[in-house]
Amino acid sequence: MNDLQAAHVNIHNSTDKTADFAVQVDFRDPNGKVVETRYVGAQNVRPGQTVHPYAISHQPPQPVLKPEVAKAERY
């Protein structure tokens, strides 16, 4: 995994109903420019449950990119 850049995403269902989630993760270069966008999701997340998908960049390991959640939706 040394050759990969990845973001460990925490998705927590704080509602009282089972839900599905989609999360957009932007990877930014050292200048702050978005160089890649990845999406992760989770289905059937129970109330109070937290799941931990990974958003994996396809960019080379250098320069180191900074991942950030750009958008998250529950549906």
Residue 36: inside a domain? yes
Q: Report pTM.
A: 0.89
Taking the C-alpha atoms of residue 71 and residue 23, their distance in angstroms, rounded to an integer, is 6
The position carrying tokens 């050292």 is 30
Task: Inform me whether the pLDDT recorded for 1 exceeds 80.
Answer: no
Q: What is the pLDDT of residue 4?
A: 87
Residue 66: inside a domain? yes
Residue 1: inside a domain? no
State the total domains in the chain.
1
Note the pLDDT tens digit of each residue in 17-41: 999 999 999 999 999 999 999 999 9
Taking the C-alpha atoms of residue 54 and residue 6, their distance in angstroms, rounded to an integer, is 6
Q: What is the pLDDT of residue 30?
A: 97
pLDDT confidence tier of residue 6, bands split at 50, 70 and 90: very high
Residue 25: inside a domain? yes
* Percent of the chain at pLDDT exceeding 90: 95
Q: What is the pLDDT of residue 2?
A: 63
Domain that holds residue 59: 6-74
Residue 35: inside a domain? yes
Residue 60: inside a domain? yes
